[in-house]
Copies of this chain bind each other. A is one copy, B any other.
Amino acid sequence: MTDARPAARRRVVIVGGGFGGLACARALAGADVDVTLVDKRNHHLFQPLLYQVSTAALSPADIAAPIRKVLASARNVTVLLAEASGVDTEARTLLLDDGDSLPYDQLVLATGSAYNYFAHPEWKKHAPAPKTIADARTIRARLLGTFEAAERTDDPVARGALLTFVVVGGGPTGVEMAGTIAELARYTLKGNFRRFDPAEAKVILVEAGPRLLGAFPEDLSAYTADALRKLGVEVRLDCPVQRIDESGVQLGDTRLPAATVIWGAGIRAADGADWIGGTSDRGGRIPVADTLAVVGQDGIYAIGDVALCLQDGRPLPGLAQVAQQQGRHLGKELRKDAPVRPFLFRNRGDTAVIGRHAAVFSFGKYRMKGRLAWLLWAIIHVFLLIGFERRTVVMVQWIWRYLTFERGARLID
């Protein structure tokens, strides 16, 4: 694809329509710059709520917005559904997988991250992780499918394995998955089966380290473990996973037969570093200066989960708010053809949800837990959702679900 427009205007190419890339493109709207945003998917995904799709509470479209719709009024921004495959730093072009290339004056890498199975890529097929909409559908179909299979069997041992759900990783993803699976079994599916009681389901959250939510203060970790136990979740700490296969998991000397294993344990930066000569970071991230410029490159920037950005000597965490602030900062800076000023992350607080009425919130020395934290969490997430309609629909569903324990998206497909 050749770009037929006159090349007089500065060209900014952004790879990735996640929180970082989208914020960057929005901040560039209306500037005297030609912007092209490339993403291999047509939608921006509101990932913090993906676990609700995995557990059948929301539909995929409730938490996804078409990127080109979000940017429709930004007339200087072109959105392309395409997969990037490399960068020619000499020619200053982004290479696309169909052989086309896009010339750039400035390139912004915002490709995000993916789940990491460390040295065990073979675990992936047995233990899906909620990262994309396809992943969430897979997990949803497995969760609901094992209950269906349990209704078909008369063998109590087989039924026991079918009704055992193991969640690996005690970070926010693992905590919210374990909590909502327990709620699904105890409340939503109550009375739906004739040959067993879905409340018999065992939900086990496994964490290799000594506490849940390692990034939060210790008292919130303890509260989280308690709250999960009250929901019926078995929490196992200091418990590394030795092996995952089609019939269950191996934890130390214990063999745990389980039809469903869900992975939420490790993150690794997505493609990007390899395109520009690699990185020495263990997590595959691209080191950037405080200007978000990639160290050792000219005109290339990296933001969000794919960037290794130090502040006060420590890497910024892989959070939506970091990516969003970086994208907004960089977009504003790139509006003018001048050196980019340094970026400074301002923490807005961290929150994680455990289940109905239970969440934690931490902001500097201030912390909150329980019902009020849950309400705060719900309000924050509804208002962060992009686009008015999605907010309304999600709110209607949440209120309804709050009143009834019902879930709106119990589809196996």
How far apart are the CA atoms of A408 and B389 in the complex, in Å? 8
Query: Is B400 in contact with A69, judged by CB distance below 8 angstroms?
Result: no
Known pairs A62-B59, A192-B68, A400-B392; A43 contacts B78 (CB<8 A): no
Closest chain B CB from A198 CB (angstroms): 11
Whole-angstrom distance between the Cβ of A63 and the nearest chain B Cβ: 10
Interface of A is mostly: mixed
Contacts A60-B59, A72-B191; is A82 near B152 (CB within 8 Å)? Answer: yes
**In the complex, how many angstroms separate the beta carbon of A356 from the nearest chain B beta carbon?**
17
Q: Does A412 contact B (CB under 8 A)?
A: yes
Chain B residues with CB below 8 A from A319, complex form = none
**Contact residues, A29-59 vs B (CB, 8 A):** 41-43, 59
- Which chain A residues numbered 61 to 92 have a C-beta less than 8 Å away from chain B? 61-62, 64, 66, 68-69, 72-73, 75, 78-82
Judge whether B81 and A411 touch: CB under 8 Å: no
The number of times this chain is found in the oligomer is: 2
Contact (Cβ within 8 A) A413 B60: yes
The answer to whether A400 and B389 touch across the interface, beta carbons within 8 angstroms, is yes
Chain B residues within an 8 Å CB radius of A68: 192-193
Interface status of A4 (Cβ within 8 A of chain B): yes
Q: How far apart are the CA atoms of A180 and B388 in the complex, in Å?
A: 23
Say yes or no: is A134 at the interface (Cβ < 8 Å to chain B): yes
State how many residues of chain A have any CB contact under 8 Å with chain B: 55
Q: Does the CB pair B390–A191 fall under 8 Å?
A: no
Residues of A within 8 A of B (CB): 1-2, 4, 41-43, 59-62, 64, 66, 68-69, 72-73, 75, 78-82, 100, 133-134, 137, 144-145, 148-149, 151-154, 191-195, 388-390, 392-393, 396-397, 400, 404, 406, 408-413
Assembly CA distance A411 to B63 (angstroms): 10
What are 17 A-to-B residue pairs whose CB atoms are below 8 Å? A43-B411, A59-B60, A59-B62, A68-B193, A69-B406, A72-B191, A73-B191, A75-B194, A78-B195, A79-B151, A80-B151, A81-B412, A100-B152, A137-B413, A389-B397, A392-B396, A393-B396
